[in-house]
Structure formats: C-alpha cells, structure tokens
Amino acid sequence: MRVLLDHEACQGHGRCYDLAPAVFGADDGGFAVLLFPGDVPLELEARARTAALNCPEDALTAVE
C-alpha cells in the first residue's frame, strides 16, 4: 500500500501525524510529509489508512 499526499490540499491540521507518527511527519510549517515515499510497511498500513480517513481536507489517499 502507498499513501498519496496532495500538498496543495493539506492545511496542516496534524491529524495524520498524530494518528500515525511512524508514517507521517511535519515540515517546518506544520504541513504533512510522508516518511515512506514508497510502500508503507505492512505493520503500519492500518494506521496509515486511519490517518487518511481522518484527514479533514482529504489530502491523503491510501492506494493498494
């Protein structure tokens, strides 16, 4: 599974890195960054999906 991040849609709410800090981080402005540019490790997929589903701006998409 991969996570796609729409940088233009991200408003820096931080839910992604609060819910899945091993998958997402924050840049200096508080906007999301992906810690895995490729496939998310299997053991972190559930957390990555939860974070994507909880993004208020729909800036994250989990792709199989």
User: Token pair of 23, please?
Assistant: 């998958």
Q: What is the value of pTM for the model shown? A: 0.92
pLDDT at 62 over 90: yes
User: Token pair of 2, please?
Assistant: 């991969």
Burial class (CB in 10 A: 0-12, 13-18, 19+), 40: buried
pLDDT at 19: 98
- At 1-27, the pLDDT tens digits run 999 999 999 999 999 999 999 999 999
- At 26-57, the pLDDT tens digits run 999 999 999 998 999 999 999 999 999 999 99
19: domain CATH number is: 3.30.70.20
Instruction: Provide the domain count of the chain.
Output: 1
In angstroms, the CA 39 to CA 15 distance is 20
Structural domain boundaries, residue 34: 2-63
For residues 4 and 51, the answer to whether their CB atoms sit within 8 Å is no
pLDDT at 37: 81
